[in-house]
């Protein structure tokens, strides 16, 4: 009986920790990363996940002509630097934030509508820590009429 | 001695749980990976943008949100017609997860559309309708009394209203994704996107479709339709491999729309980036060639109408 209770307790603890990490990610996107979009209007979509050093993510989105867009890619502490590239269907890199001091935002407008890929990478750690660091990474979009 | 024994048991149980959890996660990742590979062949020849897709750990697909959809229609020259929006008297008709999710998206697009045209009373009405859908989907705190009050206090301030809509949509989409209900989040987005397509197609009059900005914007939605298909495919099965009936049904519902979009050609040229050091807003220069005939447009309009009628009834 004691063992069953213990198992239940530990399982609950595990789920709670998981939920708490998710909630932190949600809070980070809403309260911190979203601020990077000002003065653009956030589109309301939520794209965020816990990433570990060395891991990658990709996002596919259609961007339309006639609007100004801002992309914000942010990593919570301790992932201060998150690399991102914007790539077109011909696999041309249109923007690479490593060439812009690892900027968190990029503003652009389009002459014609296009499907683009946002490739995100958390760089490998410096090796100082025994374990690779993990934290929330959010990709957010703002827009305004041009 | 007895204490040592219980500590040892405790450690064993802890490791057993840890191994179980890691094992489940790995199995789930593998199953997702396998699922993704199986779908690759269907799309590779069509969509160059999606090449090398499975190199990344996490894949996101982004559809225009209800707010962006409404903005896209308005900027293409749409006018406001409340008759086209889903009546708020229908809220009581929706009881299943699928209909609630679809109509959360639909009412949020209607709310965004009304707000962009400064329709104060309609905005409040549609916020209440969206709130009912969210509550019935057990999305807690996405839209509360405070949100409605803030909306009512800022009815003459479009920027604040748009911020409120964006925040409420973020609340519901993040709640669904963080609570392992990504399929519901996808259905909400599809509902909102279809509503935008419905409003736009209904606003095109009987004049020739050539050089019509609204028709071009509608045809360009073919690009987002590819994303809709991928989002639905990704959510077709849950982590345990079980089929999600709502998603399967929705995929089948979209067949008419797919047939119409298949007859539209959207070709895009390579992009040249033109930086602007004064404004810091780069311009992506490219050309898009859209091929659509009047019969194909009529077929698309009919397919959207049938779909949307089915969603709101």
Provide the shortest C-alpha distance from residue A112 to chain B (in Å).
6
* pLDDT 10s digits, A108-132: 999 999 999 999 999 987 666 778 8
Q: Residue B40, SS3?
A: helix
pLDDT confidence of residue A5: 59
Distance, in Å, from the CA atom of B25 to the CA atom of B226, rounded to the nearest integer, reads 29
Query: What SS3 class is residue B267?
Result: strand
- The verdict on pTM exceeding 0.95 is no
Considering CB atoms only, which of B49, B171, B287 is closest to A60?
Answer: B49
Residues comprising chain A, all counted: 146
The pLDDT of A72-95, averaged and rounded, is 95
How many Å lie between the alpha carbon of A64 and the closest alpha carbon of chain B? 8
Q: Which domain, by its residues, includes A24? A: 2-145
pLDDT recorded at residue B23? 40
Nearest chain A Cα distance for residue B102, angstroms: 16
Per-residue model confidence as pLDDT tens digits over A18-66: 455 566 788 999 999 999 999 999 999 999 999 999 999 999 999 999 8
Question: What is the total residue count of chain B?
Answer: 313
Q: Is residue B244 classed exposed, middle or buried when 0-12, 13-18 and 19+ CB atoms within 10 A define those classes?
A: buried
In Å, how far are A29, A44, B113, B299 from B122, measured between CA atoms?
30, 20, 10, 31
Strand-strand pairing, A93-96 and B265-268: unpaired
Which residues in chain B are closer than 8 Å to A95, comparing Cβ atoms?
273, 282
- How many independent structural domains does chain A possess? 1
Q: CA–CA distance from B57 to each of A54, A121, B29, B143 (Å)?
A: 10, 10, 10, 33
Contact assignment for B220 to A66 by CB distance below 8 Å? no
Kindly state the helix (H) or strand (E) to which residue A27 belongs, with its residue range. Answer: helix A2-31
Q: What gap in Å lies between CA B62 and CA A62, rounded to an integer?
A: 8
Q: What is the pLDDT of residue A15?
A: 47
Choose, out of B10, B57, B173, the residue to mutate when testing the contact with A (most A CBs < 10 Å). Answer: B57
The pLDDT score that the predictor gives to residue B205 is: 83
> What is d(CA B38, CA B8) in angstroms, rounded to the nearest whole number?
45
- Cβ of B284 and A94 within 8 Å? yes
Per-residue pLDDT of chain B in tens (313 residues, 90 and over written 9): 444 545 455 555 555 554 444 444 433 343 333 333 333 333 333 355 666 555 557 999 999 999 999 999 999 999 999 999 999 999 999 999 999 999 999 999 999 999 999 999 999 999 999 999 999 999 987 899 999 999 999 998 999 999 999 999 999 999 999 898 999 999 999 999 999 999 999 999 877 899 899 999 999 999 999 999 999 999 999 878 899 999 999 999 999 999 999 999 999 999 999 999 999 999 999 999 999 999 999 999 999 999 999 999 9
Contact A94 B68 (CB under 8 A): no
Across the interface, which of B60, B167, B286 has its CB nearest the CB of A112? B286
What is the ipTM metric for this complex? 0.85
Q: What is the C-alpha to C-alpha distance for residues A117 and B285, in angstroms, rounded to an integer? A: 17
Chain B residues close to A90, C-beta within 8 Å:
48, 270-271
Question: CB distance A110–B223 less than 8 Å?
Answer: no
What CATH number corresponds to the domain at position A138?
A: 2.60.120.380
Residues from chain B that touch A110, judged by Cβ atoms under 8 A, are 283-284, 286
Contact call for residues B160 and B270 (beta carbons, < 8 A): no
């Amino acid at each position: 009986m004691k063992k069953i209770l213990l198992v239940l307790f530990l399982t609950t603890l595990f789920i709670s920790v998981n939920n708490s990490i998710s909630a932190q990610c949600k809070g980070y996107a809403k309260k911190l990363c979203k601020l990077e979009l000002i003065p653009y209007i956030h589109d309301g979509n939520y794209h965020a996940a816990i990433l570990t050093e060395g891991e990658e993510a990709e996002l596919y989105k259609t961007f339309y002509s006639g609007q100004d867009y801002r992309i914000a890619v942010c990593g919570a502490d301790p992932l201060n630097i998150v690399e991102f590239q914007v790539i077109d269907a011909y696999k041309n890199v249109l923007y690479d934030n490593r060439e812009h001091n690892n900027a968190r935002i990029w503003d652009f407008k389009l002459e014609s509508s296009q499907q683009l890929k946002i490739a995100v990478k958390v760089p490998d750690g410096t090796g100082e820590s025994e374990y690779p660091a993990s934290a929330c990474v959010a990709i957010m979009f703002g827009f305004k009429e041009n | 001695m007895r204490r040592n024994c219980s500590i040892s048991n405790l450690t064993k149980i802890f490791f057993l749980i840890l191994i179980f959890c890691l094992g489940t996660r790995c199995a789930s990742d593998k199953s997702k990976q396998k699922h993704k590979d199986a779908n690759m062949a269907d799309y590779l020849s069509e969509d160059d943008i999606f090449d090398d897709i499975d190199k990344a750990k996490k894949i996101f697909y982004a559809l225009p949100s209800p707010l962006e959809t409404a903005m896209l229609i308005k900027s293409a020259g749409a006018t406001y017609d409340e008759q086209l929006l889903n009546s708020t008297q229908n809220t009581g008709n929706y009881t299943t997860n699928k209909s609630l999710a679809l109509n959360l998206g639909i009412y949020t697009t209607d709310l965004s559309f009304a707000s962009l045209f400064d329709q104060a009373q309609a905005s409040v009405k549609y916020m209440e309708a969206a709130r009912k859908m969210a509550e019935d989907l057990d999305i807690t705190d996405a839209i509360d009394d405070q949100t409605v009050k803030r909306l009512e206090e800022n009815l003459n301030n479009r920027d604040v209203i748009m911020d409120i809509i964006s925040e409420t949509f973020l609340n519901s989409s993040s709640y669904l994704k963080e609570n392992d209900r990504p399929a519901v989040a996808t259905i909400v987005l599809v509902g909102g996107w279809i509503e935008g397509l419905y409003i736009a197609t209904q606003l095109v009059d009987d004049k020739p479709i050539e050089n019509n900005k609204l028709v071009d914007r509608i045809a360009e939605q073919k690009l987002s339709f590819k994303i809709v298909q991928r989002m639905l495919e990704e959510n077709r099965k849950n982590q345990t491999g079980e089929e999600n009936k709502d998603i399967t049904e929705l995929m089948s519902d979209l067949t008419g729309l797919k047939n119409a979009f298949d007859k539209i050609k959207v070709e895009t040229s390579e992009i040249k980036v033109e930086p602007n050091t004064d404004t810091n807003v780069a311009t992506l220069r490219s050309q898009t060639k859209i091929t659509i005939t009047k019969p194909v447009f009529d077929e698309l309009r009919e397919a959207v109408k049938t779909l949307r009628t089915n969603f709101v009834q």
